[in-house]
Amino acid sequence: MGGGMTGDEVRRLLNEDPLAQQLLAAPIPARLAYVATDGTPRAIPIGYHFDGTAFVMATSEGAPKIAALQQNPAVALTIDTDTHPPLILLVRGTVEVEMVDGVVPEYLEGARRTLGDDALPAFREEVTALYDRMAKITLTPTWARVYDFETRIPDNLVRLMREKGLMS
């Protein structure tokens, strides 16, 4: 997956960049993009936990995305806001899928970020009753970028703005 970043550069951006940290702490889901087993693209909202090295997600044991991710582990992940200008964290990498008895602990940590501490016990009770096994999806990032469209703008827009005389 292109980009030419080292693992250290990716981890540094995710762990030290203030914008990346803001987005990783925000109570918003990620969007995971992958290729389904029929060859068509998918992009789904999904909860996650970032442990400083990898993004951990979970899903039900029989979810169709499991076979797709095992067939083609190359994915992209986006965490972004609905503000203007948007704040965007883009990640590319590969996933590993492993079946886990019970509820994946990182699934609950991701829920803590989006639901808050007060709602977590009821959520834990619900998912513990629902899931005997879950698929743990671990995304190891190989590339990451953040945009705020004020100080960090995609290169193609910078070029266009310069061509139009809107930026020096």
Q: Is position 70 within any domain?
A: yes
Q: Tokens 């925000």 correspond to what residue?
A: 26
**Residue 41's pLDDT is what?**
98
Q: Is position 168 within any domain?
A: no
**Residue 131's pLDDT is what?**
96
Q: Is position 2 within any domain?
A: no
Distance between CA 53 and CA 68 in Å, rounded?
Answer: 23
**Residue 95's pLDDT is what?**
98
**Residue 99's pLDDT is what?**
97
Is 73 a residue whose pLDDT tops 80?
yes
Please report, rounded to a whole number, the percentage of residues in the chain having pLDDT higher than 70: 98
Q: How many domains is the chain partitioned into structurally?
A: 1
pLDDT (average), residues 91-101: 98
**Residue 120's pLDDT is what?**
95
54's tokens: 């990898």
Decide the pairing of beta strands 49-50 and 55-60.
antiparallel
Which of 68, 92, 65 shows the shortest CA–CA distance to 78? 92
Q: What mean pLDDT is reported for the chain?
A: 94
Is 1 a residue whose pLDDT tops 60?
no
**Residue 3's pLDDT is what?**
60
Name the maximum alpha-carbon separation found in the chain: 60
**Residue 25: what are its φ and ψ, rounded to 5°?**
-90, -15
Task: Give the residue numbers spanning the domain of 105.
Answer: 7-163
Please report, rounded to a whole number, the percentage of residues in the chain having pLDDT higher than 90: 84
pLDDT per residue as tens digits for the range 124-166:
999 999 999 999 999 999 999 999 988 887 888 888 888 888 8
- Asked if omega into 45 is within 30° of 0 (cis), the reply is no
- CA 85, 91, 97, 101 dihedral sign is negative
In eight-state DSSP terms, residue 156 is H
Decide the pairing of beta strands 88-101 and 133-147.
antiparallel
Q: Is position 32 within any domain?
A: yes
pLDDT (average), residues 34-54: 97
Q: Is position 1 within any domain?
A: no
Which CATH number covers residue 92?
A: 2.30.110.10
Instruction: Give the helix ranges, DSSP H, for 17-87.
Output: 18-25, 64-71
**Residue 149's pLDDT is what?**
87
